[in-house]
Structure 1
Amino acid sequence: MSRPIKKIVKGSWQNEGNGARVLRSIGGSQLRNLDPFLMLDEFCVTWPAGFPDHPHRGFETVTYMISGATEHEDFVGHKGVIKVGDVQWMTAGRGVMHSEMPHGDKEAIGLQLWVNLKKTDKMVQPSYQELKDADIPKVTSEGVTVKIIAGETMGVKSQVRTLTPSYYFDISMEKGAHMKLPLPKGWTTFVYTLTGTVQFGPSAQVKEVEEHSTVVFEDGEMVEAQNKGDKPARFVLLSGQPIGEPVVQHGPFVMNTAEDIQATIKDYHNTTNGFERARKWKSRSGNRLLQSS
């Protein structure tokens, strides 16, 4: 059975970080949580705007670059540049302090997704999975190209390991293309449209969706889409196994109880229990911001 549309949400612009603006859909007032997904932002930033030194605990961040580049640096010495088509899948786990700033003078445009972790994984050691665009598998069939960032489809599997079972596909459709993509039943599924207009849903309940919209689906066996527009269309599709645990969020910390949050705030301020390196650390971009102010 093709999944019917449950809800369509247009994101709202809001301020984040250091002078940055993000178009937020999941995590906003219209779509607070979508288990296991906590947040989805489309960011468009140019130096000195960005996301300087800040902490995380209890979930994963997935950064996917649409254009431009982002420079990443953390308090254990991990650093690098995420360029167009690259993905960084960061497990914050028990604690990460990092910086995400535009690299170079061009505008950095991308998506950042927050994926929740179950209680037993919230305090794992931080880790990274970073893939260059050329290393992410792509499959094309009948005018539909699927870039498989996480999960598997059409007999092809991504090398990304997901603690919370998840699929993340970047899908492009030529004019007139039609797609039926099987997905696990019971998983939370949505798409975020990037360019063009796409019609989603079973034939009796088709709805046309504009750019920069989030489409949440009911349960079913597949997502059905068609491009009847006059230009190619592109969207990302995400599907994840619900965790079904309480979610208590305080800014960049996501735990199961208010007591867990209070303990996390204490750990961060006291630089203990995973945040020890935060005591003396300052990113290169953070120092650059201080010098320019």
Structure 2
Amino acid sequence: MTEQLTGERTLTRITTKQQLGPDAQVDDKALVFVPTDPALTDPFLALVEDWFSTPGFEWHPHRGLETVTTVVDGVLEHGDNLGHTGALQAGEVQWMTAGRGIIHRELAYRDEHAHVLQMWLNLPAEKKLTPSRYQDLTKAAMPRVHAPGVTIDVHAGTVGGVTGATDTHHPVQGVVATLDPDAIYDLQVPAEHRLFAHVMNGRLLIGGRELHAGQTGWSDPVTRRSGDNGGAPAATSLHLAAVDPEQPARVMVYSGTPIHEPVAMGGPFVMNTKLEITKAFADFHAGAFGPVPRQARLAYDR
């Protein structure tokens, strides 16, 4: 039998989010990570934190990627040109596959307050033009793992025998873990995945390094040791420990298999070549994504 690799993950690099302040769309914005070198974060492209009331993000297109939006606080109102509308509360997630092309908007419900973390997840070339879709992960239906002092919302993949509700186009595991003071948890992660752990609140020991709110740690895929004869690597583990004796901690941990393909970006489009970006803009302006919706805002009855 082939020996399979096991072991504990360590962090190879740590970054701190960059606070940008208000702009024409938001009350405040922070860049957690951006695609300055997509190979370093593959398959993840960006993670941006936004606080907004009005105007928010009115109708705009996407192609060739998935956006994963986690509501941190407030209520997010959304709609698209496939006819989907709704409102998501704190702890809920919208997983949007832009695929061949979608037009959508993201607003603060009643123009009051929305605080979100939005991640851009790349799609492999063969899935760039897959049909567009929405998947909403509500609190009521959220799969969860419970351990002493620990609650884990499972967005995607399987953790502790619990499988997330998201139907993914590429191997991805995603969770948000909340740990009480002094609680610990060993999160199983496929060895072939690159992972990031973004601390949303509190302080945590993650893979042997202490991180505080606003910091993100990265761990690259674990390769086989010399002498291994092949076979699928086993899962590795990422050790999480809340180190503040008085405050709980919350961390977003996503991992995925690197795609190892060229990345071309142009505004809201992510493809493999600049020619494909040019075609995406041409298709959008020619109406290939469909008309810009004229949907009214959601009724104020929530």
Q: Which structure 2 residues correspond to residues 162-241 of structure 1 after superposition, within 5 A?
A: 162-201=168-207, 206-220=208-222, 221-230=236-245, 231-241=247-257
- Paired residues in the alignment total 276
Q: Go from structure 1 to structure 2 and tell me whether the alpha carbon gap of 1:8 and 1:283 turns closer, same or farther (over 3 Å shift).
A: farther
Name the structure where helix makes up a greater proportion of residues: 1
Match of 1:35 among 42, 46, 49: 42
Letter in 1 for 2:239: E
1:30 shift after superposition: 8.3
1:85-133, Cα deviation, whole Å (9 max, x unpaired): 2111111101011110100253211211111111111111111111211
TM-score by length of structure 2 reads 0.86
CA contact (8 A) 1:172 1:232 kept: yes
Report the aligned-residue RMSD: 1.9
Pair 254,104 (structure 1): closer, same or farther in 2 beyond 3 Å: same
Aligned-partner Cα distance in 1 for 2:261–2:75: 35
Determine if contact 1:53/1:282 at 8 Å carries over to the other structure: no
CA offset at residue 228 of structure 1? 2.0
2:73 & 2:39 partners in 1: Cα distance? 27
4+ runs deviating over 4 angstroms: 28-33
Q: For residues 207 and 162 of structure 1, what CA distance do their matches in structure 2 show?
A: 30
The 5 A counterparts of 1:68-147 are 68-147=74-153
Deviation of residue 145 (structure 1)? Answer: 1.5
In structure 2, distance between residues paired with 1:181 and 1:155: 12
Aligned counterparts of 1:174 and 1:194: Cα–Cα separation in 2: 14
User: How far is 1:76 from its partner?
Assistant: 2.7
Uncovered stretches (5+) of structure 2, i.e. residues with no partner: 1-6, 223-235, 298-302
Q: Write the letter of the residue equivalent to 1:98.
A: H
> In the TM superposition, what is the alpha-carbon distance from 1:74 to its structure 2 partner?
1.4
What is the match of residue 258 of structure 2? Answer: 242
Secondary structure, aligned partner of 1:61: strand
SS at match of 1:183: strand
Quote the Cα distance in structure 2 between the aligned partners of 1:16 and 1:30. 25
Contact 2:26 2:50 in 1 (8 A): no
Identify the residue that residue 226 of structure 2 maps to in structure 1: none
SS of the equivalent of 2:291 reads helix
1:268 Cα deviation after fit? 1.3
Distance in 2 (alpha carbons) for counterparts of 1:91 and 1:199: 33
